[in-house]
Amino acid sequence: MAKLVGVSGSLRRGSFNAGLLAAAREVMPAGSTLEIATIAGIPLYDGDLEAADGIPAAVTAFKAAITGADGLLLVTPEYNNGIPGVFKNAIDWASRPASDIGRVFGGRPVAVIGASPGGFGTILAQNDWLPVLRTLGTRPWHGGRLMAAQAGKLFDAGGALVDEPMRGRLAQFMAGFVAFVEGG
C-alpha cells in the first residue's frame, strides 16, 4: 500500500501535465494512493530571502508533502528542450537548507513522466532530471518510461486524459512504480 505524491511542473491550470497527473491518480493500483502537491506560490530561489526570512510557507508545505510519501512522481513539461525553470526552482527550494536534502530526497523512490504537444514527448526534460535526482540522492525508477507526445490529441478541452491506449500505458507505468516503491 504505497502512498505517493505527484507534482506537475506546470503552473497553467489546464496544462497537459496537470491532466496527466490527475489521470495517474485515477489509475493507481488498488490500495495505493497518489496525493497531488503543488509548486504554486513558491518564489524564485534567493539565498538572501532564505537568510532573511527562512524557508517560505509554500516550500515548507511542498517539502512536507514529499517527506510524507513513500515515493515521488515528477510530471514534467519540456520547455525549450529541457526542464522548466519553475519546476527546477521548486526542487532547488526543497533542497534548502542543504542539511535537509537527505531527509527530503535521500533514497526516496522517484519516477518521471510528462506530456507535450510535440512529437517527442518530454524525452529531453526527463533525461535532464536524471543528474538532478542523482545529486539529491534519490532512487530513480528506470523500469518504465512514459511520454505523452502530441498531447493535444490525448486530452479533451477540460484537460482530462481521454486516450484509452495512453490511459492503459499510464496504469501499467503506475503499477510498476508502485511495485518498485514497495520493494517488489
> 3-181 in CATH: which number?
3.40.50.360
| Tens digit of each residue's pLDDT, the chain (184 residues) | 899 999 999 999 889 999 999 999 999 999 999 999 999 999 999 999 999 999 999 999 999 999 999 999 999 999 999 999 999 999 999 999 999 999 999 999 999 999 999 999 999 999 999 999 999 999 999 998 999 999 999 999 999 999 999 999 999 999 999 999 999 5
Length of the chain in residues, anyone?
184
What cell was used for 145? 518510461
Give the distance from CA 150 to its chain's centroid: 19
Cα radius of gyration (the chain): 16
Q: What is the largest CA-CA distance in the chain?
A: 50
Q: Can you give the pTM of this predicted structure?
A: 0.97
User: What is the rounded distance in angstroms from the CA atom of residue 94 to the CA atom of residue 35?
Assistant: 17
**Single-letter residue type at 182:** E
Residue pair 148/116 in contact by the 8 Å Cβ criterion:
yes
- In sequence order, the β-bridge partners of residue 113 are 75, 146
With CA atoms as reference, report the closest residue to 114 among 70, 61, 150: 150
Pairing type for strands 139-140 and 71-75 reads unpaired
Cell of 115: 506530456
Domain boundaries, the chain: 3-181
